[in-house]
Amino acid sequence: MPEEKNKEQDECFECKKKKDARWRQDFPVEWESDNYVTRREMVKFLALGSLTIAGANAVLAGIPHIVKAAELPRTRVALASSIPVGGSKLFSYPTEEDPCILVRQANGDLVAYSQVCTHLSCAVVHDEKENALFCPCHHGYFTVDEGRPYAGPPTRPLPRIKLEQQGNEIFAIGVEA
Amino acid sequence: MDNRQAQGTTLFTALLVLIGIGVVVQLWLLAASVDALMRHQQKIPLYAALGSAAVFVINGLLVLYVINFDRKIKQ
């Protein structure tokens, strides 16, 4: 015990020596306390961060109203008479790199979707037996009438292609998200 | 530390936590907005922006309260 006490006294002596050093008197700034972040500073930082995030959210909300979607081309897809009930046809829209699928439903209506699966971008195909759009990579199923996923890993619907029929010809005129 | 100071410290810590939670909620709203934009949904970013603005107003009021409290203690 007495040894410890002596040690403490020695340390204090050293501390005192440091405190009394001439350079300490000339430069009394403590780096540790200089870098110390107080709670008040933290609250101010959080408030500014809150303002920044609110601003970023407002910008994001304004983007769709400022940037108008580019006009998509009107592309001839197929002849209506060439697709029987339950049949399908592949085409590309709006560019050659965007594969799509056109399907005639049992009620005779034509629907078209992007062929790119919303899970991991494999190409979906029409499964006539199941009356569904089927992704063979991970066994994802989408409904033909709405393109909604109902089985397998996909969670988002397939983008729908807007169609227009003029006489016997079918045209793709846009993409619905 | 007298009672008043101790109370101030507790209050300050509580408000710090509340504002921190608000900022986390705002970050979540921002992530949801980006996700909705990628899906070409226009309404969700609008609602998220309104929610984020509301949280910011609450945070601002809390900070003002803290500043006023600080002033009172110093006086």
The Cα A170–Cα B72 span in angstroms is 75
**Lowest pLDDT segment from A27-41, A131-145, B15-29:** A27-41
Task: Report, as an integer, the average pLDDT of A85-103.
Answer: 93
From A172, A64, A100, select the one nearest B38 (Cα to Cα).
A64
What pLDDT was estimated at residue A67? 77
Radius of gyration of chain B measured on its C-alpha atoms:
17
Complex-level ipTM:
0.88
φ/ψ bin of A133: left (φ > 0), alpha (ψ from -120 to 50), beta (otherwise): beta
Q: Which of A54, A60, A177 sits opposite B39 (nearest CB)?
A: A177
pLDDT confidence bin for B18, thresholds 50/70/90:
very high
Contact criterion met (CB < 8 Å) for B45 and A63: yes
Judged by a CB distance cut-off of 8 A, whether residue A68 touches chain B is no
Q: What is the mean pLDDT of residues A156-172?
A: 93
In the predicted structure, residue A15 carries a pLDDT above the cut 70: no
pLDDT at residue A54, rounded to an integer: 96
| Phi-psi group of A87: left, alpha or beta (phi > 0 → left; psi -120 to 50 → alpha; rest → beta) | beta
Of residues A158, A176, A177, A172, the one with CA closest to residue A94: A172
- Of A23-32, A82-91, A158-167, which gets the smallest average pLDDT? A23-32
Tell me which chain A residue has its CA closest to the CA of residue B47.
A61
Residue A3 has pLDDT above 60, yes or no: no
The count of C-alpha atoms lying within 13 angstroms of the C-alpha of A30, restricted to the half-sphere facing its C-beta, is 5
pTM of the model: 0.58
Interface membership of B11 toward A (CB under 8 Å)? no
